[in-house]
Structure 1
Amino acid sequence: NPKFPPSAPSPKLMHQIFADFCKDIDPNQFEESGCAVCGQLTQSSTLKKLSEMNLNLDILIQEGVTQVERQSSKDPLSDIEGPVLDSDLDSICQTCCRSVSKGKMP
């Protein structure tokens, strides 16, 4: 027969329970942000800062994919230069990071 009520947990176990709980409810565990490459919402803790990485983003430079906004139909079509990225974001998800680092389009 198990003893009832059970004895109190040891101080070490209580500390571990509290530490694990605090880790589990840390905002980084559930906050999301967008990937600058694909735009997908991803858990912030798994995103990497593009500004801190040494990735060759040339694969993301595609002619005819992005264009400067025209104010009238008479304005010429012109591409936006540089890689296709969301300029409001500075992070990249693991999937895009793997693809870009291999020189592949995500």
Structure 2
Amino acid sequence: MRIVYNEGFSINPEKTRVARSNARQEVTGIVVNSHMQISKEKRKQIRQQIYYIRKYGLESHLERIEENRANYLNHLLGQINFALFVNPKDEEMKEYFDTVKTIMKNQNE
């Protein structure tokens, strides 16, 4: 803390909290407990989108969620890429990345 004050900064106690080892330690939306990972909620959301795309097909999924964006797959791919940026060893996200890239490739043919 001395470094913070020596550099002319101060710590805002309203924005400071202690996260114990048994609680989720999250910094700027990234969970940093044992290894860096996106939040469980975000992972479940991505997993669910991929599941419905695989089960019902992309068009049916888009109708079901009433999605009108033309760049939906790019948006989903961006979320997956962010998860892989945070944790490059995430095999589940690698699989989802391949799934979305295959769908995008098939759409362009």
TM-score over 0.5 for the alignment?
no
TM bucket (normalised to shorter chain) is under 0.3
Higher relative contact order (CA 8 A, sep 6+): 1
Q: Highest CA radius of gyration, 1 or 2?
A: 1
TM-score w.r.t. length of structure 2? 0.26
TM-score w.r.t. length of structure 1? 0.27
